[in-house]
């Protein structure tokens, strides 16, 4: 059945009119929908035709209805491979790194591959070396992305013209829009680790949850979507251990906005979610100082590169950093943050104003660019 549905989705895309192939979005999973939807809504408001191709049958895009929107399901198998290899469109927008470095190849018939960053973190460490090599255009979130990509293309002697557009971060703007409409639960803490072998789910998470539940905090554990897949056994153990406590919940929702909005403090390691929380909501974080996640093996032991990453440079400005041998003091750090709620506000404004692009108007910038393209 999956293969048949994928075939029909692929066939229907091939049969779609050219007007719907000027702007095409591709999504790997339903959890990426939140990174696309602000821009899609803005395009539809302007009566600009959009196609959305997804590998996930549960993608929320299928609930949207508009005469200017066409949706297609192509699955994860052979027809997705065909789609990428033979794609004929003007602009393809996606959040998928490593394009052309695996079995999903670039098509000679697609004019402009556009990468949408789905995190505020730097492009150097947390992605493979050639993750962005094959894109034409980048919707850069901040100055760090422009600098890092410029350096990468120069160091690797990539001479093809790349467009590093100063766009901003759609998700951050959406968080900022909604923060005034929701009341904070002053006793709620969100734990949002990154994914990878060194994330706190596999090390310190149980200890942290146990300590905080004893003090009657309400705890929401929100693992990264990749962690749900890779750490499912450990997550099941944690859920089984604490699920009987009404103050604990394990959140696997694609849209984490409500978890953000109602929480007073976030606890993380190196997750971009903590940066979104702090910069979008003007709240503080506790960062557990585990080893930084490095997927670019060339930088595995390069401390100078690690210290230049956006996530490394802003952590101390957004909250408290706790060494792993001080986990037992976490309640002291939480009390310190609670007493100094306004301490980090000037830092937050500085980062938003001086490091990130078009805070509050990123969608408009992206929409303007796409209008020019068509």
Give dist(CA 101, CA 99) in Å, integer: 5
Nearest Cα neighbor of 366 from 178, 53, 138, 175 is 138
Instruction: Give percent above pLDDT 70 in the chain.
Output: 99
Q: Is residue 156 domain-shared with residue 26, that is, in the same domain?
A: yes
* Residue 340 predicted with pLDDT over 90: no
Per-residue confidence (pLDDT) for residue 346, from 0 to 100? 78
* Residue 261 predicted with pLDDT over 90: no
Per-residue confidence (pLDDT) for residue 47, from 0 to 100? 97
Q: Is residue 11 domain-shared with residue 132, that is, in the same domain?
A: yes
- Specify the number of domains making up the chain: 2
Per-residue confidence (pLDDT) for residue 182, from 0 to 100? 72
* Residue 301 predicted with pLDDT over 90: no
Q: Is residue 88 domain-shared with residue 132, that is, in the same domain?
A: yes
CATH at 8: 3.40.50
Q: Is residue 313 domain-shared with residue 329, that is, in the same domain?
A: yes
- Give me the phi and psi of 333, to 5 degrees please: -65, -40
pLDDT in tens, 44-78: 999 999 999 999 999 999 999 999 999 999 999 99
Q: Is residue 60 domain-shared with residue 195, that is, in the same domain?
A: no
Q: Is residue 219 domain-shared with residue 350, that is, in the same domain?
A: yes
Q: What is the mean pLDDT of residues 303-322?
A: 92
What is the pTM assigned to this prediction?
Answer: 0.94
Q: What is the mean pLDDT of residues 289-297?
A: 91
Q: Is residue 122 domain-shared with residue 237, that is, in the same domain?
A: no
Q: Is residue 80 domain-shared with residue 162, that is, in the same domain?
A: yes
Q: What is the mean pLDDT of residues 149-158?
A: 95
Mean pLDDT value across the chain: 93
Per-residue confidence (pLDDT) for residue 142, from 0 to 100? 97
Higher pLDDT, 134 or 181: 134
Q: Is residue 198 domain-shared with residue 324, that is, in the same domain?
A: yes
Q: Is residue 306 domain-shared with residue 206, that is, in the same domain?
A: yes
Q: Is residue 362 domain-shared with residue 332, that is, in the same domain?
A: no
pLDDT in tens, 200-239: 998 899 999 999 999 999 999 999 988 998 899 999 999 9
* Residue 103 predicted with pLDDT over 90: no
Q: What is the mean pLDDT of residues 267-289?
A: 94
Per-residue confidence (pLDDT) for residue 331, from 0 to 100? 93
What long-range pairs does 42-46 form, CB within 8 A, spacing at least 24?
42/363, 42/364, 42/366, 42/367, 43/68, 43/367, 43/370, 44/68, 44/69, 46/367, 46/371
- CA–CA distance from 119 to each of 31, 140, 148 (Å)? 13, 10, 15
* Residue 32 predicted with pLDDT over 80: yes
CATH at 218: 3.40.50.12580
* Residue 256 predicted with pLDDT over 70: no
8 A C-beta contact, residue 358 and residue 167: yes
Nearest Cα neighbor of 226 from 185, 179, 278, 273 is 273
Higher pLDDT, 130 or 184: 130
Q: Is residue 214 domain-shared with residue 142, that is, in the same domain?
A: no
Q: What is the mean pLDDT of residues 232-252?
A: 93
Residues spanned by the domain of 41:
2-169+358-373
Cβ count within 10 A of residue 63:
7
Per-residue confidence (pLDDT) for residue 29, from 0 to 100? 94
């Amino acid at each position: 059945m999956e293969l048949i549905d994928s075939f029909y989705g692929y066939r229907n895309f091939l049969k779609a009119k050219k007007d719907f192939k000027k702007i095409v979005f591709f999504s790997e999973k339903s959890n990426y929908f939140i990174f696309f939807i602000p821009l899609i809504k803005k395009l539809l408001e302007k009566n600009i035709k959009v196609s959305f191709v997804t590998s996930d049958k549960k993608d929320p895009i299928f609930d949207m209805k508009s005469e200017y929107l066409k949706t297609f399901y192509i699955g994860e198998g052979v027809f997705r491979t065909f789609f990428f290899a033979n794609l004929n469109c003007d602009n393809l927008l996606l959040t998928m790194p490593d394009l052309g470095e695996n079995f999903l190849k670039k098509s000679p018939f697609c004019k402009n591959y556009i990468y949408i960053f789905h995190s505020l973190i730097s492009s150097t460490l947390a992605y493979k070396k050639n993750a962005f090599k094959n894109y034409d255009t980048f919707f850069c979130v901040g100055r760090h992305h422009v600098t890092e990509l410029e350096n990468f293309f120069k160091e690797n002697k990539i001479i093809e013209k790349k467009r590093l557009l100063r766009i901003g971060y759609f998700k951050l703007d959406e968080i900022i829009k909604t923060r005034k409409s929701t009341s904070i639960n002053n006793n709620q803490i969100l734990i949002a680790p990154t994914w990878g072998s060194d994330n706190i789910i596999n090390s310190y998470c149980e200890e942290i949850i146990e300590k905080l539940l004893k003090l009657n905090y309400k705890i929401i554990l929100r693992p990264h979507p990749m962690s749900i897949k890779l750490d499912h056994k450990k997550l099941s153990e944690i859920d089984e251990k604490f699920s009987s406590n009404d103050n604990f919940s394990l959140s696997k929702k694609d849209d984490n906005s409500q978890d953000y909005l109602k929480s007073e403090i976030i606890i993380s390691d190196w997750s971009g979610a903590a940066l979104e929380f702090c910069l979008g909501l003007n709240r503080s974080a506790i960062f557990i100082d585990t080893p930084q996640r490095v997927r670019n093996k060339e930088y595995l032991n390069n401390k100078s590169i690690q210290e230049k990453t956006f996530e490394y440079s802003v952590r101390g400005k957004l909250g408290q950093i706790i060494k792993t041998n001080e986990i037992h003091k976490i309640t002291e750090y939480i009390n310190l943050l609670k007493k100094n709620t306004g301490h980090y506000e000037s830092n937050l404004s500085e980062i938003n104003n001086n490091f990130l692009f078009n805070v509050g108007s990123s969608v408009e910038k992206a929409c303007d660019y796409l209008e020019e393209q068509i």
